[in-house]
Amino acid sequence: MKKITIVLSLLFALSLTNCENDAQSEIKVISPEEMQTLLELDDVQVVDVRTPEEYKDGFIHNSQNIDFNSPTFEDDITKLDKTKPVILYCKSGGRSAKCSKKLKEAGFVKIYDLNGGITQWKFKGLELQTFD
């Protein structure tokens, strides 16, 4: 009986630990204005998950392009630092929402998803970069 109590106590403690780990990894949907504030942080990683063709048409400063639909996507995200904040965006928010879930499953700690994607960013009149 004593062993059963100890085992059940350990299982309960482990389940609490798992809940804490889930709480530590969060996805926050942010507005373009909130994103501007986050871009001022030194350690933030900005990822555009659109296709390279879409990226060439205009992108947010300091972003890197990791195509969500690419066959190398899973390998590409391993190059990101899981301990640093990641801001994701796409055209309108669909792909970045899916990517956010994948990053959470991969153990990323702080994930931000731009609400409305680059479309909303442009609508607010915020600056885009191009290769020209």
Q: Band the pLDDT of 1: cuts 50, 70, 90.
A: low
Say if pTM beats, i.e. exceeds, 0.85.
no
Contact 127, 43 (CB under 8 A): no
Q: Band the pLDDT of 24: cuts 50, 70, 90.
A: low
Q: Band the pLDDT of 131: cuts 50, 70, 90.
A: confident
Q: Band the pLDDT of 2: cuts 50, 70, 90.
A: low
pLDDT in tens, 49-96: 999 999 999 999 999 999 999 999 999 999 999 999 999 999 999 999
Cα 126–chain centre separation: 21
Start-to-end CA span in the chain (Å): 74
Angle subtended at Cα 127 by Cα 62 and Cα 36, rounded to the nearest 5 degrees: 65
Contact 71, 84 (CB under 8 A): no
Task: Compute the distance between CA of residue 41 and CA of residue 13 in angstroms, rounded to an integer.
Answer: 36
Residue 114, SS3 per DSSP:
strand
- DSSP annotation of 30 reads E
